[in-house]
Structure 1
Amino acid sequence: MMILALFANLFIFGMVIFLINKIFFRSHKQVSKGGGVRRFFQFGLLFALTVISGFGLSGLLGRLLRIGISLTSDRNALAVESSFTVVGIPLLILVALWTRRTFTKDPSEKESMAWNLYLTAISILALVLNVTAQLKILKVIFSDGVLQGSSISQLIVWGGIWFIHFKFLSQARQSINSINDHLIGSIIGLGFSVSGLLTILQALLTSLFDFNKEAVIISAGQPLTQGLITFIVGAPIWYVYWIRTSMMIKRVASWFAYVLLIGIGGGVLVAVTAASISLYSVLVWFLGDPATQSASLYFKNSPGSISAAIVGVLVIWYHRDVLSHENTNERTEIRRIYEYGIAGIGLIAAAGGVTMILVSIIESLSASAQITGGGSTNSLLAAVTLIIVGGPIWWFIWQSIQKKSETNPVEEHSSLIRRIYLFILFGVTGIISAAMLLLGAYFIFKDLFQQGIGVATVRQIRFSLGILVTAAVVSVYHWFVFRNEKDVEIRRNPVMAIERKMYFFVEIKSKPGKDSELIGAINKYVVHVRKERGCEKFDVLLDPTNPGSVYLYEIWSDAPSHQTHLNSAEFATWKELSDPLIAKFTAKTLDSTEI
């Protein structure tokens, strides 16, 4: 009843908005141009009705597909599903027609953020529900279970809803919001694909090392089966959203954020974490105190970490290869986030290892015990692992950053990302150092005023002292780096140069008698150019008062796209064909008045 009441309120409120729109905005088009409130409720109502209709239709269809079960079982649910379908679908059609009429009157509505947010929200929701149904159906296929009608109906209904809205998004491919939708879908597909591939590799390695021969049996509940199901579901999603769509759109900040932060950065985290776990296990087996003397029992989890490392490296390799084809050495803020982030992770890992070693040394000295005894050895090996893995990562990334800083100091030192990185490391670690100093002083004075300072006091302050020393070193080092560049003014609202649009106005004067031939050649060539990535506009214009001249107006989404166009084989072929027809060629680069 609560859902029905909410739906009734939405319907009434939507009708009020609809009437206001019909009466008010018809005679005041200048007001409707903003239309933020109207759009919010119109597309919000469209979203709510789509969801309600989808659940209602999916529920009723699922009942029809339940073989041997009464359609009227669970009558409360049947009532909800019926009301959602009988009332929701007609209202959805009315709001959809209203939306279509809105687009007909003002095509720019399709570029509004509200419409694109609606498309993103409903398509991602439909995708998630469709994927859930796929997983359920595939698990039944690989087992002896019974296929549920609800899973089939969910697959059909939400698959249809996803397909329709994905088509709308494809039509608005160059819109920032539609680009973000494609990237969200790419993340979902990549996550499922990577998870499935990791599970498959783990099952194969487990069988190869004879930990569990049943791991490669294709049956429900087995790791290999679960991995195959996850990969079968995820790979097509990743292909559609990334290969077929996101790879064809213009390169904006969110695109580079996906490649650098999700692809390369995420791959680095997975690979490094998995490699650290594997290295630690090996060190403990040979040098430490393993929990068991049976190699098969001790290393039974190693296939998982090895598989994660392999998959992480594959993800890194692929996305680095994608980035290498962009033909840009532009040092953007997104790239800085990636580099400083990886450097920070490496530094934190190495500092944690140093802290653990200092704590172990203090504990060993205060207890008059050997530092290599029992669990202390394993703790030291964990610390060594963190230093071995984190130290080189921080060193190589930081040295690369510093070299770029030496090459172009003003640009690097004025970066907001660099300033935040340095502030966090010298500021936050400085605060941590002060806090640890206060905590250590508290333990010292407490023992001084009670039983006196002794070995027990040193043991109490071992963590504070270890963290204090490490944090102080990190803070002081980065303070000196910051001090040398603190007077450089930070760039406000840095814009990626790679995202700036390119505008060109070209005048081509034909040789005598070659007018028609030149125009025909240009018109044929333009058909191919307009399909190139990054080409937003390519108009061919004529001036009736100036025969023999052809004018081109071009808009390219970014400089790399235009440069790729100039370097293409098609452009070279066009030059060979057109040069004999052209008497004069003049090109002007224009700037937009938009800020």
Structure 2
Amino acid sequence: MANTAGSAQRTVRRAIVYTLLFVLVTVAGIGMSGLLGRVFEAGSAIASGGSSALAQSLAFTVIGAPLAALLWWWLWRRLDDAEERSALTWGLYVAAMYLVSLIVFTVSTVDAAQSMIRGSWEPATLASAIVWFGIWLAHRAMSRNADRGPLRLATVPVVLGAFYGLVAASSGAVSAFGVLLDNAIRGVNAVVLAGEGVFAPLSHGLLWLLVGGVIWWLHWVHGGAARVTTGLASVMLIWVAVLGGSLLSLSGVGISLFVLLRLAFDRGEPIGVVTDPLGEAIAAALVGAVVWRYHWLVTRERSAGVQRASSVVVSGVGMAATASGIGVIINALLATLSTSLAGSDSRTLLLGGLSAFLVGGVVWWFTWKPVEPVSAAEQRDTSRRVYLVAMFGLSAIVALIALLIVGYGVFVFALDSTTGTSLIEQVRAPLGLLIATAAVFGYHFSVWRRDRAAVALATPVRVRTIGEVILVTDAASAPQRKLIEELTGASVTTWVRADAPGESPGAASPGLAEERLSEALNGVTAARLLVITGADGAVQLVPLAE
């Protein structure tokens, strides 16, 4: 009891001091950034910009920085102890401050560079970038320290840094390439291209592409995050890289297809308006495809569970897009029966649903492979079962909500004749969603039941012939107890004789004793059974009354 209480006290103490250190480092970083920003202000006194802001920066720096340094020094000395170094709170603190400082540093760096490109001077952002760069370097050194670095969650900083760099670089690439493609599609001249309206978002996207790419390379390639196979690394790989890349690519392809279909079949608006989202959509499709493809190949080098999980995640994206497309198509078809919606509007709606259905359907078909036979390993796979339950569960919830909205529209139409809208107009959107989600629910529920039936059929059924067993033994009881549970499926209560002898020359070997016990239990049926075993391997069975 004393050891448990002491362990709990140490855990609470560590949680408090590391939280306090996190707060103090943050406060000191804010204060030093404010003071350094005032120093960078050329031609003005250090107290310019308001006495209250200066007072805050001074208080945060003069009080927060020394306290943070003192607390860090005290904790750093204690990390010579292996127990302190292996504490979960130490790993959490390093990972949290590492990521926070990296985000603040990169955001401030991009903002400062962007202001310089525009010809303006923002000392506050430059100061913030310098201060938080130093904080990030310090925690990077802590995380990589061979003597005092965290023993638990040691790879978390490099993994989080890699995927943060990936997200930053991908968003920057979409922004920059989207601007270039948009202007290429519109055919603007060089004068307009060099204008502020185009150059600002282009430079901003290129800066994020550069900074994010460097951060990604520093962590993924140089830092070794590509070789980390922990649970967090697998989750980030699937849910950030594969899922994020597939969503980005498929949304770009879907919007591009929608624009092309409108150009071919819907000429109700000027071409410039129709093609407005095309440049960014193509950029998203290309960047997302690169991210998706690269990390998909990475998952092929991981375990079978990671591979199947990545496949079902992409399949879920495709199914969501397909169901959305079906709902919009039904909505558009019902709109043609209503006089309150113009024909061009219903045609645009139909083309949007058709593009989502085609893109999502193709992806779902090639990732889920509904016509191919499912192996026994896939039917037992946890990710597949979770996916099926999640899909038919969520679709059932959405279908229920849609049904309630449909019912509400019907009753509004029946009870209020002054609405001025038809019944179809009232219910067409939720009705399309209801039909689509009902179909998704029915399909995935049927697949789940089929998988469960196949797994149950392949699993041998244990016939329970004995309800309860009381085992009286004078030998090691663990193997005998396990054997009885496997053979009978009954609950076993073990009693050990008070005069149990020790090891003797005449004692039976463990294998012989278990063999005799198995032979004795063969074919026995009883509600309650007393099993008495001896050191010589003798077995006595006594059926008991209920």
Task: Output the TM-score relative to the length of structure 1.
Answer: 0.67
- The equivalent residue for 1:94 is 70
Equivalent residues of 1:197, 1:311 under 8 A apart? yes
- The offset of 1:68, in angstroms, is 1.0
- The offset of 1:307, in angstroms, is 1.1
> Cα 1:321–1:420, aligned 2, differ >3 Å: closer, same or farther?
closer
- The offset of 1:473, in angstroms, is 2.8
- The equivalent residue for 2:132 is 158
- The equivalent residue for 1:583 is none
Equivalent residues of 2:242, 2:295 under 8 A apart? yes
- The equivalent residue for 1:317 is 293
State the Cα RMSD in Å: 3.3
Gaps of 5+ in 1: 1-24, 490-595
Equivalent residues of 1:49, 1:88 under 8 A apart? yes
- The equivalent residue for 2:246 is 268
Equivalent residues of 1:433, 1:467 under 8 A apart? yes
- Secondary structure at the aligned position of 1:257 is classed as helix
Question: Residue 419 of structure 1 is aligned with which of 385, 394, 411?
Answer: 385
- The offset of 1:249, in angstroms, is 4.8
Bigger mean CA deviation after superposition, 203-212 or 425-434: 425-434
Whole-angstrom CA distance in 2 between matches of 1:302 and 1:345: 22
Question: Residue 177 of structure 2 is aligned with which of 171, 183, 201?
Answer: 201
- The equivalent residue for 1:40 is 15
- Specify the code of the residue in structure 2 equivalent to 1:45: L
> Cα 1:388–1:124, aligned 2, differ >3 Å: closer, same or farther?
same
> Cα 1:457–1:484, aligned 2, differ >3 Å: closer, same or farther?
same
Whole-angstrom CA distance in 2 between matches of 1:429 and 1:33: 44
- The equivalent residue for 2:328 is 356
Whole-angstrom CA distance in 1 between matches of 2:212 and 2:192: 21
- The equivalent residue for 2:100 is 125
Question: Residue 362 of structure 2 is aligned with which of 392, 415, 421?
Answer: 392
Whole-angstrom CA distance in 2 between matches of 1:153 and 1:445: 62
Whole-angstrom CA distance in 1 between matches of 2:293 and 2:26: 39
- Secondary structure at the aligned position of 2:304 is classed as coil
- Paired residues for 1:560-579 under 5 Å: none
- The equivalent residue for 1:298 is 274
- The offset of 1:285, in angstroms, is 1.2
- The offset of 1:291, in angstroms, is 1.5
Whole-angstrom CA distance in 1 between matches of 2:275 and 2:135: 47
- Secondary structure at the aligned position of 1:486 is classed as helix
Whole-angstrom CA distance in 2 between matches of 1:431 and 1:57: 51
Bigger mean CA deviation after superposition, 165-174 or 180-189: 165-174
- Paired residues for 1:72-471 under 5 Å: 72-73=47-48, 74-104=50-80, 106-148=81-123, 150-171=124-145, 175=151, 177-209=153-185, 210-211=187-188, 213-214=190-191, 216-217=193-194, 222-247=200-225, 249-292=227-270, 295-324=271-300, 326=301, 328=302, 330-332=303-305, 334-365=306-337, 373-399=343-369, 403=372, 406-407=374-375, 409=376, 411-430=377-396, 432-433=398-399, 456-457=422-423, 460-471=426-437
Whole-angstrom CA distance in 2 between matches of 1:447 and 1:199: 46
Whole-angstrom CA distance in 2 between matches of 1:71 and 1:31: 50
- The offset of 1:135, in angstroms, is 1.8
> Cα 1:350–1:382, aligned 2, differ >3 Å: closer, same or farther?
same
> Cα 1:355–1:31, aligned 2, differ >3 Å: closer, same or farther?
closer
Equivalent residues of 2:242, 2:314 under 8 A apart? no
- The offset of 1:304, in angstroms, is 1.2
> Cα 1:352–1:195, aligned 2, differ >3 Å: closer, same or farther?
closer
> Cα 1:373–1:251, aligned 2, differ >3 Å: closer, same or farther?
same
- The equivalent residue for 1:551 is none
Whole-angstrom CA distance in 1 between matches of 2:415 and 2:112: 70
Cα deviation 1:329-371 (Å, max 9, x = unaligned)? x321x4444322322222222222223333333343465x9x9
Bigger mean CA deviation after superposition, 124-133 or 412-421: 412-421
- The offset of 1:146, in angstroms, is 2.5
Whole-angstrom CA distance in 1 between matches of 2:79 and 2:153: 18
- The offset of 1:397, in angstroms, is 1.4
Please say if 1:477 is aligned against 2:443: yes
- The offset of 1:69, in angstroms, is 0.8
Equivalent residues of 1:217, 1:224 under 8 A apart? no
Equivalent residues of 1:260, 1:335 under 8 A apart? no
- Specify the code of the residue in structure 1 equivalent to 2:132: W
- Specify the code of the residue in structure 2 equivalent to 1:338: S
Bigger mean CA deviation after superposition, 52-61 or 431-440: 431-440
- Secondary structure at the aligned position of 1:425 is classed as helix
Equivalent residues of 1:202, 1:303 under 8 A apart? yes
Whole-angstrom CA distance in 2 between matches of 1:227 and 1:429: 37
Whole-angstrom CA distance in 2 between matches of 1:58 and 1:431: 49
- The offset of 1:147, in angstroms, is 4.7
Whole-angstrom CA distance in 1 between matches of 2:28 and 2:122: 24
Equivalent residues of 1:49, 1:92 under 8 A apart? yes
- Paired residues for 1:485-504 under 5 Å: 485-486=451-452, 488=455
Equivalent residues of 2:91, 2:150 under 8 A apart? no
- Secondary structure at the aligned position of 1:142 is classed as helix
- The offset of 1:441, in angstroms, is 6.1
Whole-angstrom CA distance in 2 between matches of 1:213 and 1:479: 57
Whole-angstrom CA distance in 2 between matches of 1:450 and 1:226: 53
Question: Residue 55 of structure 1 is aligned with which of 30, 46, 61?
Answer: 30
Whole-angstrom CA distance in 2 between matches of 1:44 and 1:450: 59
Whole-angstrom CA distance in 1 between matches of 2:407 and 2:245: 43
- Specify the code of the residue in structure 2 equivalent to 1:110: R
Cα deviation 1:60-98 (Å, max 9, x = unaligned)? 232222221111222222222223322333322321221
> Cα 1:116–1:446, aligned 2, differ >3 Å: closer, same or farther?
closer
Report percent identity of matched pairs. 28
Whole-angstrom CA distance in 2 between matches of 1:245 and 1:457: 61
Gaps of 5+ in 2: 457-546
- Specify the code of the residue in structure 2 equivalent to 1:31: G
Equivalent residues of 2:158, 2:225 under 8 A apart? no
Whole-angstrom CA distance in 1 between matches of 2:408 and 2:273: 46
- The offset of 1:119, in angstroms, is 0.9
Whole-angstrom CA distance in 2 between matches of 1:357 and 1:313: 26
Whole-angstrom CA distance in 2 between matches of 1:471 and 1:477: 10
- Secondary structure at the aligned position of 2:118 is classed as coil
Cα deviation 1:146-201 (Å, max 9, x = unaligned)? 252x3333222211111011111123788552322222222221122112222222
> Cα 1:413–1:211, aligned 2, differ >3 Å: closer, same or farther?
same
- The equivalent residue for 2:39 is 64
> Cα 1:305–1:76, aligned 2, differ >3 Å: closer, same or farther?
same
